[in-house]
Amino acid sequence: MVKRTLKMTLRQLLPLTCCLFSAQVFGADGIYEFKVKIVPEELGESQMTPDGETLIVGRCENDSSTENFSLKAITQFKPNNSGYEEMIRPPQRTYEWKSGGDVDIRDENKKIAKFETTEKTWGNEFEVEVKVQTIIVGGKKIRIPGQAKQKAIAPKITLKSAVFSETGGGSGFKILDTFRGKPVSTPEFIKDDENEEKEQPPIGFYAGRKISYIPEFEVLPQTIETLVAWCEGNILETEKKEFSVKGGKARDKVEGKKVPPQKCHRGPEDPFDQNVWKFKIYDVELSLEEKMDISYYVLLNEGNSQDKPWKNLLKAAFDKWEIGGAENNNELMDKLSGGISQSSTYHDGWNPKENKRTSLYIDQQQSPMPLSISKMVDAFCNSNAEIICIEAAGLMEYAAGVLGNGGVITKGVNWKETGQVRNPVTGQLEDKTWWDGHAYCIFESHVHDPVPRGGGPTNMNENNYIDQKLKDGKRSDFTDPDLRSFEFK
């Protein structure tokens, strides 16, 4: 802070008497000091650095609106050759801040102290200059001028990006763009002011593991050397972190304060629970805030498959199969089998009774059987999944290994079935026998039946399931259950 001191001898002021002091005659060598200094209002949006050398101007948004900040000038009078205490007279003025940093006090009777900033001034250093005319009272009023300059900065901090996945140095799990495709691009969050509705790539974390990720900020003016930042809101909330600023950029890893709860879920669960970054410059907390609106998935564990989750698989799992809320792998398998069953219909191109042997996603003539997981998942996302039992079982087996810890196998059984079939020529019902069968999943000795017939978890072992659910008076010659294997593609 630069101060200008005006010195006046008592002889120069006579016959004036300063009303700020008790009337007293001083010697000819009596000297008064008159100082002006700038300070922010205690409850205003402007603050000094702890050393008192720089005025820090905070603000709420990086927009183009004009913002007003409260300041005040304090004038001081001090006789240096007497025992009188320092007398302080703090008149408030209207500060009109113009491009270039000049602040002028026009009238001592003004009650509001403010200066105005606009978009052009954010991210710059400047000087606030105060000019005052202090009244020395005697037989008539004399205005004594004084002025001071104060270094000031209006920080502009913008969250540019954030990296969450392990591919970029965070703790989140890798998510692929497509089935066995490339990872989603990092950083997953990129601020785009021109297209705020643009969908950001999804991010994912594992339950029970502390979160870390890497944000990057643009910091202006570039003379700022350090920045303290922290995030508030949902599972991405962080501890306060000091960043080094180089060339107007600040980038470093931050540690989360919260651990994702032990359940599959997507977030933010509360649409009003948004992430907001807050900042300190030179130990002064700014009113500036930056939002980080993103969505995330939380899975129970890494899974036991070499394949990684991709965007549509996660979308189908949470939107169609409703795996959210599963707190352990048993619950996850229940939700998978029930969800696949409830969100699909049976493909009518497969019906041994009518000699229909086509299917959309599997070739049962090969071993292992090629199963088009990618196309099937896309069909679920588009709400037009038509599948048969072996496809449903293969999908559950695959999803269990990618979204959970696996342990699901697919088995099947065949039988002879007898029934009446209408002759397409005569229109008469005729007795007929054909081979039919069914495929299902087993997890921890219990059968899961994800077929689109209102199936799902059964809580039955394999023998009981076959006896109670598959066998009836029209079926005979049951084969022994055997393992079905797939080539997922």
pLDDT tens for 476-489 read 999 999 999 999 99
Q: What's residue 14's pLDDT?
A: 26
Q: What's residue 451's pLDDT?
A: 93
- Whether the per-residue pLDDT at 95 is higher than 80: the answer is no
Band of the pLDDT at 322, cuts 50, 70, 90?
very high
Closest Cα to residue 333, out of 456, 429, 172? 456
Residues 6+ apart with CB under 8 A from 404: 299, 300, 301, 303, 329, 332, 333, 336
- Whether the per-residue pLDDT at 435 is higher than 90: the answer is yes
Buried b vs exposed e over 179-207: b needs ≥16 C-beta within 10 Å? beeebbebbbbebeeeeeeeebbbbbbbb
- Whether the per-residue pLDDT at 84 is higher than 50: the answer is no
Q: Helix, strand, coil: what percent of the chain each, to 5?
A: 15, 40, 45
Bridge partners (DSSP) listed for residue 413:
438
Q: What's residue 51's pLDDT?
A: 83
Give the Cα separation of 397 and 302 in Å (integer).
16
Bridge partners (DSSP) listed for residue 31:
9
pLDDT tens for 183-242 read 999 899 998 766 666 678 889 999 999 999 999 999 999 999 999 999 998 899 999 999
Give the Cα separation of 354 and 358 in Å (integer).
12
Band of the pLDDT at 272, cuts 50, 70, 90?
confident
Instruction: Give how far Cα 337 sits from Cα of 265, 333, 409, 448, 469, Å.
Output: 17, 6, 13, 6, 16
Bridge partners (DSSP) listed for residue 33:
7, 78
pLDDT tens for 238-256 read 999 999 999 999 999 999 9
CB 354 within 8 A of CB 472: no
- Whether the per-residue pLDDT at 360 is higher than 90: the answer is yes
- Whether the per-residue pLDDT at 337 is higher than 80: the answer is yes
Q: CATH says 157-299 is which class? A: mainly beta
CA 40 to chain centre: 34
Give the Cα separation of 83 and 85 in Å (integer).
6
Give the Cα separation of 332 and 328 in Å (integer).
6
- Whether the per-residue pLDDT at 18 is higher than 50: the answer is no
pLDDT tens for 104-116 read 444 444 444 456 6
- Mean pLDDT, residues 32-59 taken together: 71
Q: What's residue 24's pLDDT?
A: 29
Closest Cα to residue 487, out of 365, 362, 370? 370
- Average of per-residue pLDDT values in the chain: 81
Q: Which residue has the tokens 């498959």?
A: 305
Band of the pLDDT at 1, cuts 50, 70, 90?
very low
Q: What's residue 388's pLDDT?
A: 96
Q: What's residue 61's pLDDT?
A: 55
Tokens of 332: 């996850």
Tokens of 243: 């960043």
DSSP element (H, E) containing 314: helix 311-315
Q: What's residue 269's pLDDT?
A: 78
What share of the chain in percent tops pLDDT 90?
Answer: 53
Band of the pLDDT at 298, cuts 50, 70, 90?
very high
Give the Cα separation of 277 and 228 in Å (integer).
10
What share of the chain in percent tops pLDDT 70?
Answer: 74
Q: Which residue has the tokens 């079982």?
A: 393
- Whether the per-residue pLDDT at 22 is higher than 80: the answer is no
Higher pLDDT among residues 77 and 156, named by residue: 156
Instruction: Give how far Cα 244 sits from Cα of 219, 227, 417, Å.
Output: 10, 7, 75
- Mean pLDDT, residues 245-270 taken together: 93
Closest Cα to residue 147, out of 132, 168, 164? 132
Band of the pLDDT at 306, cuts 50, 70, 90?
very high
Q: Which residue has the tokens 């007293």?
A: 24
Number of Cβ atoms within 10 Å of the Cβ of 222: 14
Segment among 5-14, 115-124, 303-312 with least mean pLDDT: 5-14
Closest Cα to residue 471, out of 437, 431, 442, 443? 437
Please list the residue range(s) of the chain that carry CATH number 2.60.40. 157-299
Band of the pLDDT at 365, cuts 50, 70, 90?
very high
Q: What's residue 248's pLDDT?
A: 96
Most confident of 18-27, 67-76, 319-328: 319-328
Q: What's residue 296's pLDDT?
A: 93
Secondary structure in 3-state letters for 219-254:
EECCCCCEEEEEEECHHHCECCEEEECECCEEECCE
CB 452 within 8 A of CB 387: yes
Q: What's residue 20's pLDDT?
A: 30
- Whether the per-residue pLDDT at 180 is higher than 70: the answer is yes
Band of the pLDDT at 319, cuts 50, 70, 90?
very high
- Mean pLDDT, residues 15-40 taken together: 43
DSSP element (H, E) containing 304: none
Tokens of 438: 């069914």
